[in-house]
Amino acid sequence: MMWKHTAKKGFLVFLLVILAVIPFVEPDEPLFVKASEEITQDDFPEDAPLEDKLSAILSDELLDGAVTGVSIKHAESGDMLFSQNPDTRLHPASNMKLLTAVSALETLGKNYRFTTEVLTDGRQRGKVLHGDLYLKGKGDPTLLKEDFDQFAKDLKEEGIHKIKGDLIGDDTWYDDVRLSQDLNWSDEPFYTGAQISALTLSPNNDYDAGTVIVEVTPSNKARGKAEVRVTPETDYVTIDNKTEMVSEDEEKDISIEREHGTNTIIVEGTMPVGGSNSRSWVSVWEPTGYALDVFKTSLEDEGIRFIGKSRETFAKTPDDAKLLTSKQSMPLEKLLIPFMKLSNNGHGEVLTKEMGKFVHDEGSWEEGLEVMEDVITGLGVNEDTILLRDGSGMSHKNMIPSKDLAQLLYEAQNKEWFDAFQYSLPVAGEPDRIVGGTLRYRMTSEPAKGNVIAKTGSLTGVSTLSGYVTTSDDEPLIFSIMINNYLGSSGDIRDIEDEIATTLAKHEF
């Protein structure tokens, strides 16, 4: 019965090992940790290796079934300090805007400005302009109603009171493809999927070009309909008000959505007396016509009217047309603030087309994406590992590994425009939306607050965060976190991203 003797001997050895370990265990600490208990970086001492802390966070069961790519680099040496699936191609969501911003800065320059022009092919006789008036767009996504008002004032100061001709919108600076190739039709009515035109208009200084703001306010009586207002005022869209006023103790439930393929905006639901306003940015169908309609209103408000059989139409401005007035946009480095801080999708697509126009004289997604690929591969991104489909990140077909995003952020530091690029990124925990941007409500405590500077990204099943952070012992780091195929709540997945970034901020090497 040799096996009995061997078993007894083994059991005695096991007891001796246990007795040897027990004295070194704190009396209020359990000897064994259940496998089901979550282990986080807080379970490690401060001097634990970074790899152990991050591996513990990434072992969270919330990530089961998801695909996570993480790359952490030292910002000065470029050494990879930690990685998980760094070569796996993943969807970047709005981290795609990092590629677009870098490419635009490198291609166009931080001082680049868009131009909008008002021209004519006619002649002025007295107070009458005999000929057509052209509003020529060259991609500016920051045009406001007040800019059109100024154009009208400029014409009035030139002595023009009447126009015997047509009002013509010229959007030929870009092609006539309005939506990127992978945009879901269900996204198109909303500001996140607004159509792209070289001649467009924004309702306020968030600069969501190609949209109107629809605001629903309560009336004073618990009957009839709520009041609906559109900014800027325009007849280009039609409001179908199906709302119902209810008593103040009833629930507010308001829906605002444009009917697909039309400019009919359906507003429906219940609004209680004394209830809070509801407001939504709604994209328009065909933004060139929208801009032209608002410009005509500006002309009429200034007392300039059309005479004869005038009409509103679209055409290319003749080469010999005379310039009457114009406006330049803010420089690119300032445009990057709403683009990156507020994650403005339209700006990403406009910049993509503008790069195509600038380099290849064709304002299209195809040519713009070719420019972007050339720029980022020149900054260390492997062209064999990426797929670029748009400039905003709305496409679920964009692909890039976290290693390449981290490399792009590393190489960007050596460019003369880097300060403008870094300044455009959201800053964790900073409540001012033009500083904190999409990170203003995240990581609101030190050492992450004001320290983590990064671009967020979110699509269905996708969450990303990539940027810069400094450790507690002043070591500058670059990180890229990409999580795909996740089916839980977006809040939970962002908590994991924030925990990783906060761990980097706390870490000492």
Which residues does the annotation mark as catalytic?
Answer: 94, 97, 343
> DSSP class of residue 165?
S
Give strand pairing partners of 86.
none
The two three-digit tokens of residue 65, written as one number: 């079934």
Q: How far apart are CA 138 and CA 116, in angstroms?
A: 6
- Give CA separation, 81 vs 49, 73, 76, 477, in Å: 10, 5, 12, 9
Q: How far apart are CA 389 and CA 93, in angstroms?
A: 11
Contact assessment for residue 175 and residue 366, using Cβ atoms and an 8 Å cutoff: no
CA angle 259, 260, 261 (to 5 degrees): 115
Q: How far apart are CA 98 and CA 51, in angstroms?
A: 26
Give strand pairing partners of 455.
466
Q: How far apart are CA 211 and CA 283, in angstroms?
A: 4
- Give CA separation, 51 vs 57, 59, 82, in Å: 10, 12, 6
Closest CA to 509 of 451, 470, 468: 470
Q: How far apart are CA 188 and CA 192, in angstroms?
A: 8
Give strand pairing partners of 253.
270
φ, ψ for residue 311 (rounded to 5)? Answer: -150, 165
Give strand pairing partners of 244.
270
What three-state secondary structure class fits 106?
A: helix
Strands 89-90 and 80-84: unpaired
Contact assessment for residue 86 and residue 417, using Cβ atoms and an 8 Å cutoff: no
- Buried/exposed code over 89-108 (b: 16+ C-beta within 10 A; e: otherwise): bbbbbbbbbbbbbbbbbbbb
Q: Give the end-to-end CA distance of the chain in Å, rounded to a whole number.
A: 56
- Match 């083994």 to its residue by tokens: 10
Closest CA to 339 of 420, 231, 269: 420
Contact assessment for residue 400 and residue 386, using Cβ atoms and an 8 Å cutoff: yes
How many CB atoms are closer than 10 A to CB 59? Answer: 12
> What strands lie across the sheet with 227-231, from one edge to the other?
227-231, 211-217, 278-283
How many CB atoms are closer than 10 A to CB 178? Answer: 19
